[in-house]
């Protein structure tokens, strides 16, 4: 059974989706993740402890999941499209500069999150399509986020979900916080839940309430929507909200 695509990798304290809908207050730095991929979480945390930047932590954490092929939903070899080929999507965002690097439909490359970062560093573009989520907040309050995924199982070749879309798969703003989403990507990308959650936190909304509000907005139009959103503000408080966790194979 394929697992949830769009693993917004890594968590400071195993913040699992099932059963956790309350806000948590924590000191900085903090690393949160939509799924309990512990090794990826530890990699991101260790990167911060060794002096790496928040972007370094996101890249290394999601990259660890790409190496481990977390639940078959991240990295090479999983979630083939209708033609049997695996393609990767990834996005990374700097909450200080608001720069975004994203790739979609990536082929013959295993480190999608690394390529996404290179889009920031070596191009003037935001999203490149052709041949992963995580939110990290450092001690100084700098926010970064990222995603890496191999997409939905048996998708139509060329289909791109929410993961590489800034504001949908994840969003970071060092003046407010960060958020990331997982679930029905084709629906979520229409509502930009990660961006909206960060804007709610900017207005002082509790992280968990912010997550609830963006999920409720989606459900107003798509009652059978399934998915989850995680949020963290610049004080280190974090929370999440999920609805209708389905068969993992349905996720993106």
CA–CA distance, 155 with 12 (Å, rounded to integer) = 32
Q: Can you name the CATH fold of 30-247?
A: 3.60.20
Tell me whether residue 173 is annotated as binding: no
Tell me whether residue 129 is annotated as binding: no
Tell me whether residue 74 is annotated as binding: no
CA–CA distance, 47 with 208 (Å, rounded to integer) = 27
Q: What is the pTM of this model?
A: 0.83
- Could you check whether the bond before residue 71 is cis, i.e. omega within 30 degrees of 0? no
Question: pLDDT tens digits, residue range 174-197?
Answer: 999 999 999 998 999 999 999 999
Domain extents in the chain: 30-247
pLDDT of residue 121: 95
Tell me whether residue 185 is annotated as binding: yes
CA–CA distance, 93 with 100 (Å, rounded to integer) = 5
pLDDT of residue 23: 62
Tell me whether residue 227 is annotated as binding: no
Tell me whether residue 160 is annotated as binding: yes
Q: What region does 177 belong to: left with phi over 0, alpha with psi -120 to 50, or beta? A: left
Tell me whether residue 182 is annotated as binding: yes
Between β-strands 134-137 and 143-149, what pairing exists: parallel, antiparallel or unpaired?
antiparallel
CA distances from residue 143 to 111, 127, 131, 184, 206 in whole angstroms, order as listed: 22, 20, 29, 25, 17
Mean pLDDT of the chain: 84
In this predicted structure, which of 49-58, 99-108, 133-142 has the lowest mean pLDDT?
133-142
Q: Residue 232's closest CA among 54, 101, 102?
A: 54
CA–CA distance, 168 with 179 (Å, rounded to integer) = 9
């Amino acid at each position: 059974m394929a697992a949830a695509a769009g693993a917004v990798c890594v968590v400071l304290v195993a913040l699992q989706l099932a059963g956790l809908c309350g806000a948590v207050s924590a000191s900085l730095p903090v690393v949160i993740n939509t799924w309990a991929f512990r090794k990826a979480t530890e990699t991101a945390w260790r990167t911060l402890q060794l002096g790496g930047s928040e972007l370094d932590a996101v890249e290394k954490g999601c990259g660890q999941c790409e190496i481990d092929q977390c639940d078959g939903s991240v990295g090479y070899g999983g979630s083939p499209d209708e033609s049997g080929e695996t393609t990767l999507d990834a996005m990374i965002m700097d909450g200080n500069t608001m720069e975004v690097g994203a790739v979609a439909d990536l082929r013959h490359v295993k480190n999608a999150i690394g390529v996404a970062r290179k889009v920031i560093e070596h191009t003037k573009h935001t999203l490149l399509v052709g041949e992963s989520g995580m939110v990290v907040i450092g001690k100084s309050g700098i926010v970064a986020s990222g995603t890496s995924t191999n997409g939905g199982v048996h998708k139509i070749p060329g289909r791109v979900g929410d993961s590489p879309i800034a504001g949908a798969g994840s969003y970071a703003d060092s003046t407010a916080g960060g958020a990331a989403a997982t679930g029905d990507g084709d629906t979520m990308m229409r509502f930009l839940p990660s961006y909206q959650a960060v804007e709610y936190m900017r207005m002082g909304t509790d992280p968990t309430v912010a997550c609830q509000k963006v999920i409720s907005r989606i459900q107003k139009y798509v009652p059978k929507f399934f998915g989850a959103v995680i949020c963290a503000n610049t004080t280190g408080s974090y929370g999440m909200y999920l609805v209708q966790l389905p068969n993992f194979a349905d996720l993106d």
